[in-house]
Structure 1
Amino acid sequence: MPALIPEALRAAVERLTPSRMPTFVRDLVEATTSAQQEQSLAPLRTFVHMWGVFVAIQRYPSRGAHLRHLEEIVSAGVEDPTDAIAEIRKIHADAAVEAGV
Protein backbone atom coordinates (compact mmCIF):
# COMPACT_ATOMS: atom_id res chain seq x y z
CA MET A 1 0.00 0.00 0.00
CA PRO A 2 1.47 3.38 -0.93
CA ALA A 3 1.90 6.17 1.59
CA LEU A 4 -1.25 8.21 2.13
CA ILE A 5 0.11 11.33 0.47
CA PRO A 6 -1.07 12.77 -2.85
CA GLU A 7 2.18 12.01 -4.72
CA ALA A 8 2.19 8.33 -3.74
CA LEU A 9 -1.53 7.95 -4.40
CA ARG A 10 -1.11 9.66 -7.78
CA ALA A 11 1.61 7.17 -8.76
CA ALA A 12 -0.56 4.24 -7.64
CA VAL A 13 -3.64 5.47 -9.52
CA GLU A 14 -1.55 6.11 -12.62
CA ARG A 15 -0.15 2.56 -12.46
CA LEU A 16 -3.36 0.73 -11.51
CA THR A 17 -6.10 2.67 -13.30
CA PRO A 18 -4.67 5.30 -15.66
CA SER A 19 -8.16 6.10 -16.95
CA ARG A 20 -9.03 7.52 -13.51
CA MET A 21 -6.19 10.09 -13.52
CA PRO A 22 -8.38 13.00 -14.71
CA THR A 23 -10.78 12.35 -11.83
CA PHE A 24 -7.89 12.04 -9.36
CA VAL A 25 -6.40 15.35 -10.50
CA ARG A 26 -9.79 17.10 -10.43
CA ASP A 27 -10.48 15.81 -6.91
CA LEU A 28 -7.01 16.87 -5.73
CA VAL A 29 -7.46 20.39 -7.11
CA GLU A 30 -10.91 20.65 -5.50
CA ALA A 31 -9.59 19.38 -2.15
CA THR A 32 -6.64 21.75 -2.22
CA THR A 33 -8.82 24.72 -3.15
CA SER A 34 -11.37 23.88 -0.45
CA ALA A 35 -8.63 23.44 2.14
CA GLN A 36 -7.27 26.89 1.32
CA GLN A 37 -10.68 28.55 1.31
CA GLU A 38 -11.79 26.89 4.54
CA GLN A 39 -8.37 27.11 6.17
CA SER A 40 -8.85 23.47 7.13
CA LEU A 41 -7.12 20.20 6.35
CA ALA A 42 -10.45 18.34 6.36
CA PRO A 43 -10.88 18.41 2.54
CA LEU A 44 -7.39 16.97 2.08
CA ARG A 45 -8.05 14.28 4.68
CA THR A 46 -11.25 13.35 2.86
CA PHE A 47 -9.35 13.22 -0.44
CA VAL A 48 -6.63 10.97 1.01
CA HIS A 49 -9.22 8.71 2.64
CA MET A 50 -11.28 8.32 -0.53
CA TRP A 51 -8.33 7.69 -2.84
CA GLY A 52 -6.51 5.52 -0.29
CA VAL A 53 -9.53 3.20 -0.17
CA PHE A 54 -9.77 3.29 -3.97
CA VAL A 55 -6.12 2.25 -4.35
CA ALA A 56 -6.47 -0.47 -1.71
CA ILE A 57 -9.36 -1.94 -3.69
CA GLN A 58 -7.74 -1.59 -7.12
CA ARG A 59 -4.43 -3.12 -5.98
CA TYR A 60 -6.15 -6.47 -6.39
CA PRO A 61 -7.74 -6.65 -9.86
CA SER A 62 -10.15 -9.40 -8.84
CA ARG A 63 -11.41 -7.30 -5.92
CA GLY A 64 -11.88 -4.27 -8.17
CA ALA A 65 -13.72 -6.38 -10.75
CA HIS A 66 -15.94 -7.92 -8.08
CA LEU A 67 -16.79 -4.47 -6.71
CA ARG A 68 -17.73 -3.24 -10.20
CA HIS A 69 -19.93 -6.33 -10.65
CA LEU A 70 -21.70 -5.65 -7.34
CA GLU A 71 -22.18 -1.99 -8.29
CA GLU A 72 -23.74 -3.10 -11.59
CA ILE A 73 -26.17 -5.35 -9.70
CA VAL A 74 -27.26 -2.40 -7.56
CA SER A 75 -27.49 -0.03 -10.54
CA ALA A 76 -29.48 -2.44 -12.69
CA GLY A 77 -32.30 -2.57 -10.16
CA VAL A 78 -33.37 -5.99 -11.41
CA GLU A 79 -32.71 -8.02 -8.27
CA ASP A 80 -32.79 -7.29 -4.56
CA PRO A 81 -29.61 -5.28 -3.90
CA THR A 82 -29.42 -5.96 -0.15
CA ASP A 83 -26.68 -8.60 -0.32
CA ALA A 84 -24.72 -6.68 -2.94
CA ILE A 85 -24.85 -3.50 -0.85
CA ALA A 86 -23.66 -5.37 2.23
CA GLU A 87 -20.77 -6.85 0.28
CA ILE A 88 -19.86 -3.44 -1.18
CA ARG A 89 -19.75 -2.02 2.35
CA LYS A 90 -17.50 -4.88 3.47
CA ILE A 91 -15.10 -4.37 0.56
CA HIS A 92 -14.86 -0.67 1.39
CA ALA A 93 -14.43 -1.31 5.12
CA ASP A 94 -11.71 -3.91 4.53
CA ALA A 95 -9.93 -1.58 2.11
CA ALA A 96 -10.08 1.29 4.63
CA VAL A 97 -8.42 -0.91 7.24
CA GLU A 98 -5.81 -2.02 4.72
CA ALA A 99 -5.14 1.60 3.74
CA GLY A 100 -4.92 2.66 7.36
CA VAL A 101 -7.63 5.29 7.15
Structure 2
Amino acid sequence: MESDNRENKYLRAKEKVANIKKFYTSLMFYVVFIAFLGWLNYYSNGWRYMWFLWAAFGWGIGIVFQGLKAFGWMPFMSKDWEERKIREFMDEEEQTRQRWK
Protein backbone atom coordinates (compact mmCIF):
# COMPACT_ATOMS: atom_id res chain seq x y z
CA MET A 1 0.00 0.00 0.00
CA GLU A 2 2.78 2.44 0.90
CA SER A 3 4.63 1.55 -2.30
CA ASP A 4 1.52 2.34 -4.39
CA ASN A 5 1.08 5.66 -2.59
CA ARG A 6 4.72 6.58 -3.16
CA GLU A 7 4.45 5.61 -6.83
CA ASN A 8 1.28 7.70 -7.23
CA LYS A 9 3.01 10.71 -5.67
CA TYR A 10 5.95 10.23 -8.02
CA LEU A 11 3.67 10.02 -11.07
CA ARG A 12 1.74 13.16 -10.03
CA ALA A 13 5.00 15.05 -9.46
CA LYS A 14 6.34 13.88 -12.81
CA GLU A 15 3.13 15.03 -14.54
CA LYS A 16 3.32 18.41 -12.81
CA VAL A 17 6.93 18.90 -13.93
CA ALA A 18 5.93 17.95 -17.49
CA ASN A 19 3.11 20.52 -17.42
CA ILE A 20 5.45 23.25 -16.16
CA LYS A 21 8.01 22.36 -18.83
CA LYS A 22 5.29 22.47 -21.48
CA PHE A 23 4.20 25.90 -20.21
CA TYR A 24 7.72 27.34 -20.41
CA THR A 25 8.17 25.91 -23.90
CA SER A 26 4.88 27.45 -25.02
CA LEU A 27 5.85 30.77 -23.42
CA MET A 28 9.17 30.77 -25.26
CA PHE A 29 7.47 30.11 -28.62
CA TYR A 30 4.91 32.82 -27.81
CA VAL A 31 7.58 35.45 -27.15
CA VAL A 32 9.61 34.54 -30.25
CA PHE A 33 6.62 34.35 -32.59
CA ILE A 34 4.94 37.54 -31.31
CA ALA A 35 8.27 39.39 -31.60
CA PHE A 36 8.51 38.16 -35.20
CA LEU A 37 4.95 39.28 -35.92
CA GLY A 38 5.70 42.67 -34.35
CA TRP A 39 8.76 43.06 -36.56
CA LEU A 40 6.73 41.99 -39.61
CA ASN A 41 4.00 44.48 -38.71
CA TYR A 42 6.53 47.30 -38.35
CA TYR A 43 8.32 46.32 -41.56
CA SER A 44 5.12 46.15 -43.61
CA ASN A 45 3.30 49.32 -42.47
CA GLY A 46 5.15 50.89 -39.56
CA TRP A 47 2.96 51.24 -36.51
CA ARG A 48 -0.05 52.67 -38.40
CA TYR A 49 -2.11 49.60 -37.51
CA MET A 50 -0.67 47.16 -34.97
CA TRP A 51 -2.47 44.01 -36.10
CA PHE A 52 0.04 41.71 -34.39
CA LEU A 53 -1.52 42.68 -31.02
CA TRP A 54 -4.63 40.67 -31.94
CA ALA A 55 -2.52 37.53 -32.18
CA ALA A 56 -0.65 38.46 -29.00
CA PHE A 57 -3.89 38.96 -27.10
CA GLY A 58 -5.59 35.76 -28.30
CA TRP A 59 -2.60 33.52 -27.83
CA GLY A 60 -1.76 35.28 -24.56
CA ILE A 61 -5.09 34.26 -23.05
CA GLY A 62 -4.27 30.63 -23.76
CA ILE A 63 -0.78 31.02 -22.28
CA VAL A 64 -2.22 32.54 -19.09
CA PHE A 65 -4.64 29.65 -18.60
CA GLN A 66 -1.91 27.12 -19.33
CA GLY A 67 0.31 28.78 -16.71
CA LEU A 68 -2.49 28.87 -14.13
CA LYS A 69 -3.10 25.17 -14.65
CA ALA A 70 0.61 24.24 -14.66
CA PHE A 71 1.29 26.00 -11.37
CA GLY A 72 -1.89 24.80 -9.68
CA TRP A 73 -3.63 28.16 -9.36
CA MET A 74 -6.89 26.86 -10.81
CA PRO A 75 -8.49 24.64 -8.19
CA PHE A 76 -11.30 23.51 -10.50
CA MET A 77 -8.82 22.10 -13.02
CA SER A 78 -6.49 20.25 -10.66
CA LYS A 79 -6.06 16.50 -10.37
CA ASP A 80 -7.23 16.62 -6.73
CA TRP A 81 -10.49 18.22 -7.83
CA GLU A 82 -10.95 15.58 -10.53
CA GLU A 83 -10.31 12.76 -8.07
CA ARG A 84 -12.73 14.25 -5.51
CA LYS A 85 -15.44 14.57 -8.14
CA ILE A 86 -14.91 11.01 -9.37
CA ARG A 87 -15.17 9.69 -5.80
CA GLU A 88 -18.27 11.83 -5.23
CA PHE A 89 -20.02 10.47 -8.33
CA MET A 90 -19.03 6.91 -7.48
CA ASP A 91 -20.42 7.32 -3.95
CA GLU A 92 -23.67 8.77 -5.31
CA GLU A 93 -24.04 5.86 -7.71
CA GLU A 94 -23.39 3.35 -4.92
CA GLN A 95 -25.98 5.02 -2.67
CA THR A 96 -28.54 5.00 -5.49
CA ARG A 97 -27.84 1.34 -6.19
CA GLN A 98 -28.25 0.43 -2.53
CA ARG A 99 -31.59 2.27 -2.26
CA TRP A 100 -33.01 0.22 -5.12
CA LYS A 101 -32.03 -3.13 -3.61
TM bracket, shorter-chain basis: 0.3 to 0.5
TM-score, scaled to structure 1: 0.35
TM-score, scaled to structure 2: 0.35
